[in-house]
Amino acid sequence: MALRAGIVGLPNVGKSTLFNAVSSSAKAQASNYRFCTIDPNVGLVDVPDTRLDQLSEIVKPNKVVPTQIEIVDIAGLVKGASRGEGLGNKFLGNIREVDAIIHVVRCFEDENVLREEGEINPVSDKEIIDIELQFKDLDSVDKKIQKTQKQARVGGDAQAKFELDVLERVKAWLEQGKNVRMMGLTKEEMVAIDDLFLLTVKPTMYVANVDEASMHTGNKYSDALKKVADEEGAELVVLNNSIEAQIAEMEDPDDKALFFEEYKMAEPGLNRLIRSAYKLLNLATYFTAGVQEVRAWTIGKGWKAPQAASVIHTDFEKGFIKAEVIAFDDRIKYGTEAACREAGRLRIEGKEYIVQDGDVMHFRFNV
């Protein structure tokens, strides 16, 4: 299950610098002018998980394969994008293709970094992005309302009437300057708008890009942004994107350790970002562990065993028979699969089993 997260924000807030830090397969050009990123850069980042290291220590596999997140660096948005300003529709179209939004907001002062929006104000910067996304969603909703009104009138289509009611409430919500993800729509109501791929439905987290002096404590700008994020129930991570990019460039473990010591860091701040992204999308991880490889797999929380098996191969779900499951703590405690079996800690689970985060699994199937 590949998570595709798009990095968005105003020009010159540190989007491409963050992308350079998180991506393990691509480097975006980071320059001090608008629309430096024209076509979206795409890169992959390994998901940090100490449990994978622990399993590897006891299994001694030939290789270790972490799960990954796909990161998309999307061009900077400007006021009026919904009307075609800047890269306009191209930018907004790129956002439609991602599962979640990582919204980078400038929370630092630097006269050498261009800014066309006046004084530093992270809340108003956030609102510029919100308004453009809301305008674009309003346009999509209006078009579907016109179509659905005709269906609701002809023959009194009950489903069309239901959809029309949802659409009109969504429109009223957007017109109040609110994002649809905060409406609390039911699953049935979401189905009525699923085909619109609304931008303000997407789960969103914020990255407060602060100066070096504020990377541990935050500052007045990140505090103001956090207040707004808390009101939304959204995740916020405070980072110094330049520092994170420097860490990502380091290959020598000793150099990295010295860097962490100098900056009083226990780990890269990006690890917090990735964990927050997981939390944002309600994701979980299970493991497969054998001599050939120890591997992490990403699933949605609440997935049943056959669905979880499908991320390895669709045949695993089609021909699912049962799953052998060991809780992560038991696998570490007893050391071997045989020892877990002898201690009664290896369970045989069927199609209705809901996979738990950290489960170590082996699937039996027949196609």
Instruction: Give tens-digit pLDDT for 38-78.
Output: 345 777 778 888 999 999 999 999 999 998 888 888 765 55
352 pLDDT higher than 90: yes
Instruction: Work out the mean pLDDT of the chain and round it to a whole number.
Output: 86
259 pLDDT higher than 80: yes
pLDDT > 70: what percent of the chain?
A: 88
136-194 pLDDT, tens digit each = 899 999 999 998 888 877 766 788 889 999 999 999 999 999 999 999 999 999 999 99
Token couple for 287:
């493991």
Under the banding of pLDDT at 50, 70 and 90, the label for residue 112 is: confident
Q: Quote the distance between the C-alpha of residue 336 and its chain's center.
A: 34
Q: In the beta sheet, which residues pair with residue 362?
A: 324
The per-residue pLDDT for 90 is 56
278-318 pLDDT, tens digit each = 888 888 999 999 999 999 999 999 999 999 999 999 999 99
> Is residue 358 within 8 Å of 51, Cβ to Cβ?
yes
List, as residue ranges, the binding site. 12-17
The per-residue pLDDT for 287 is 98
List, as residue ranges, the binding site for ATP. 12-17
The per-residue pLDDT for 82 is 46
The per-residue pLDDT for 73 is 82
The per-residue pLDDT for 11 is 83
Give the whole-angstrom CA distance, residue 287 versus residue 328.
9
The per-residue pLDDT for 213 is 94
Which of 7-16, 185-194, 231-240, 329-338 is least confident?
Answer: 7-16
> Is residue 330 within 8 Å of 344, Cβ to Cβ?
no
pTM: 0.82
218 pLDDT higher than 90: yes
Give the whole-angstrom CA distance, residue 44 versus residue 274.
12
> Can you tell me the mean pLDDT for 268-281?
84
Which of 4-13, 20-29, 273-282, 325-334 is least confident?
Answer: 20-29
> Is residue 26 within 8 Å of 42, Cβ to Cβ?
yes
Give the whole-angstrom CA distance, residue 29 versus residue 19.
10
Strands 41-46 and 68-73: antiparallel
> Is residue 362 within 8 Å of 322, Cβ to Cβ?
no
Give the whole-angstrom CA distance, residue 102 versus residue 82.
19
Q: How far is CA 233 from CA 27, 204, 210, 290, in A?
A: 32, 10, 21, 40
SS3 content of the chain, % helix, strand, coil (to 5): 45, 20, 35
Token couple for 364:
């039996």
All domains of the chain in start order, with CATH: 3-124+203-249 (3.40.50.300), 133-200 (1.10.150.300), 302-365 (3.10.20.30)
9-31 pLDDT, tens digit each = 888 888 888 888 876 444 444 33
Token couple for 263:
């900056």
Reduced to 3 states (helix: H, G, I; strand: E, B; else coil), residue 133 is: helix
Q: Quote the distance between the C-alpha of residue 274 and its chain's center.
A: 7
Instruction: Tell me the longest C-alpha to C-alpha distance in the chain.
Output: 73
Give the whole-angstrom CA distance, residue 41 versus residue 226.
28
Under the banding of pLDDT at 50, 70 and 90, the label for residue 1 is: low
The per-residue pLDDT for 38 is 36
From 289, 331, 288, select the one nearest 298 (Cα to Cα). Answer: 288
User: 83 CB contacts (<8 Å, ≥6 apart)?
Assistant: 135
